[in-house]
């Protein structure tokens, strides 16, 4: 993928609409679509498609379904994060949180629906590939990476550790552990899944993984910095929320100046992991630079 990712985003949005349109219950479908279409950057699905394209020169309908799956999983996690039992946030991306519009029960079910729809999209027509063992192997490996990155060995584990750390003195090692799982694991899963679907060899898979892990932590460091110094009007949510909730953050532990330095280091490490791929690395390098200076 080049720096112009308009066509990929359009393809992702179109396919998401088709998938969500198959939901039979109108209130549930509306709640699911409300959060999916609330203005997300489509970062994770773009990275999945870019990883696939960097390996084999393009992406197909299978990769697109996996890209949509990773976006639905990310969106479900945001719906559940905003619930009163979790972060209790009324706003997300400049609009009311899902549970404020549809009620807590429907919001929970919308999250559940997105999660299960993601695995339906990834496993759709899987049996048709029994006559192509290599293609079958790639899809199963990609699905495993996404399941691991989003479950109790990844995102969910990070969320639990984050909750457990509230109001406690958190070490640098523990903070990295929390955020590697809470944020970086799903980003890494997206990139590794795309690489598997594209048929990556061990070398490029290792480099893409190194890139993804550094990018994922950098993304969280930038997010923590924005919570302290960002503008609410641009971010679409209140700033200072993490401090009010006594959450462990990079600025809280390192200070703003040191957090900015850490963000620079992680971004450079991500870029360095991909530089040897020259033109094929353009999208990945641009994304790393954009995330470092983002305002939302």
Does residue 223 form part of some domain?
yes
Spatial separation of the C-alpha atoms in residues 125 and 121, rounded to whole Å:
9
pTM for the structure as a whole:
0.92
| Per-residue pLDDT tens digits for 180-230 | 999 999 999 999 999 999 999 999 999 999 999 999 999 999 999 998 876
CATH code: domain of residue 21: 1.10.600.10
Q: Specify the pLDDT at position 24.
A: 86
> What are the phi and psi torsion angles at 122 (to 5°)?
-75, -30
The answer for residues whose C-beta is within 8 angstroms of residue 76's C-beta and 6 or more apart is 110, 111, 112, 113, 114, 115, 118
**Beta-bridge partner residues of 96:** 91
**Beta-bridge partner residues of 91:** 96
Does residue 133 form part of some domain?
yes
Spatial separation of the C-alpha atoms in residues 197 and 108, rounded to whole Å:
31
Does residue 39 form part of some domain?
yes
Q: Specify the pLDDT at position 4.
A: 55
Does residue 232 form part of some domain?
yes
Spatial separation of the C-alpha atoms in residues 258 and 222, rounded to whole Å:
12
Does residue 1 form part of some domain?
no
Q: Which domain holds residue 247?
A: 6-292
Number of domains making up the chain: 1
Per-residue pLDDT of the chain (296 residues; tens, 9 = 90+): 544 578 999 999 999 999 999 998 889 999 999 999 998 899 999 999 999 999 999 999 999 999 999 999 999 999 999 999 999 999 998 899 999 999 999 999 999 999 999 999 999 888 777 788 898 999 999 999 999 999 999 999 999 999 999 888 889 899 999 999 999 999 999 999 999 999 999 999 999 999 999 999 999 999 999 988 765 544 455 666 666 777 889 998 999 999 999 999 999 999 999 999 988 899 999 999 999 888 77
Does residue 186 form part of some domain?
yes
Q: Specify the pLDDT at position 238.
A: 62
């Amino acid at each position: 993928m080049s720096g112009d990712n308009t066509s990929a985003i359009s393809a992702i949005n179109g396919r998401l609409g088709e998938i969500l349109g198959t939901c039979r219950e109108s209130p549930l479908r509306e709640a699911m679509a409300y959060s999916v279409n609330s203005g997300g950057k489509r970062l994770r699905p773009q990275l999945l498609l870019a990883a696939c394209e960097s390996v084999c020169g393009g992406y197909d309908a299978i990769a697109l379904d996996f890209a949509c799956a990773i976006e639905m999983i990310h969106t479900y996690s945001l719906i559940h994060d905003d619930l009163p039992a979790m972060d209790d946030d009324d706003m997300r991306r400049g609009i009311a949180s899902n549970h404020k519009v549809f009620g807590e029960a429907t919001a929970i079910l919308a999250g559940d629906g997105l999660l299960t729809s993601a695995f339906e999209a990834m496993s759709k027509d899987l049996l048709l590939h029994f006559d192509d063992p290599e293609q079958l192997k790639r899809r199963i490996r990609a699905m495993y990476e996404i399941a691991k990155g989003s479950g109790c060995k990844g995102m969910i584990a990070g969320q639990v550790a984050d909750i457990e750390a509230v109001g406690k003195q958190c070490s640098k090692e523990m903070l990295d552990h929390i955020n590697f799982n809470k944020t970086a694991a799903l980003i890494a899963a997206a990139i590794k899944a795309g690489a598997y679907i594209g048929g990556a060899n061990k070398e490029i898979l290792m480099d893409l993984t190194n890139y993804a892990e550094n990018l994922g932590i950098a993304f969280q460091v930038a997010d923590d910095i924005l919570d302290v110094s960002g503008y609410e009007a641009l971010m679409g949510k209140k700033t200072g929320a993490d401090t009010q909730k006594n959450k462990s953050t990079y600025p809280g532990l390192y200070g703003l100046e040191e957090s900015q330095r850490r963000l620079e280091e992680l971004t450079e490490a991500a870029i360095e992991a991909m530089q040897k791929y020259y033109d094929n690395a353009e999208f990945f390098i641009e994304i790393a630079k954009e995330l470092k200076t983002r305002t939302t």
